[in-house]
Structure 1
């Protein structure tokens, strides 16, 4: 059972890394540090969007319209942290 805990923790770590990369990349694109006309930047950006957009779109259904502010990544990040805390607090069930 401890391997199940470790696998879940690994999956959450990977999702956390992908979300951090997406958030930082969105800031860099919005501040025009990165340009989507560069092929490698565009490929990474579209790949991250394809991975995260299904989760963000479900969260956006519940959030009110905030104009130009997208709070879906923040809500998803908070949910991910909450899941990690719940998993760590209940780690005794896996051992």
Structure 2
């Protein structure tokens, strides 16, 4: 049962990882005018991803200094996701070894 919980948490972190990557790539494509911002579907996807990721970025943006338009908060969130995955793996291993 506990292994299933760790798997679910790992899958959720992986999904969040990919949502952030997609959101960053979309923002770059908008910034370089590769994607048309008048496309309703692409714009709706971008807004949905922004609503999902903005609460994660907000506390980090408050702490980071201004880098003249560069936003490093997605990078920091991705690093934190990796750290959480490592902690989950370690906790899962310690639970598995302690029960055997």
Same fold per superposition (TM over 0.5): yes
Q: TM-score w.r.t. structure 2 length?
A: 0.87
Distance 1:49 1:68 in 2: 17
Bigger relative contact order, structure 1 or 2 (CA pairs below 8 A, ≥6 apart): 1
Distance 1:62 1:55 in 2: 13
- How much has 1:90 moved relative to structure 2? 2.6
Q: Does the aligned pair in 2 maintain the 1:16–1:80 contact within 8 Å?
A: yes
**Count of residues in Structure 1 that have an aligned counterpart in Structure 2:** 95
Distance 2:42 2:19 in 1: 15
The residue that corresponds to 1:31 in the other structure is 32
Question: Alignment partner of 2:35: what SS?
Answer: coil
The residue that corresponds to 1:7 in the other structure is 8
Aligned CA RMSD, in angstroms, stands at 1.2
- How much has 1:89 moved relative to structure 2? 2.6
- How much has 1:80 moved relative to structure 2? 0.9
Q: TM-score w.r.t. structure 1 length?
A: 0.91
Question: Which of structure 1's runs of 4+ aligned residues deviate more than 3 A?
Answer: none
Unaligned runs of 5+ in 2: none
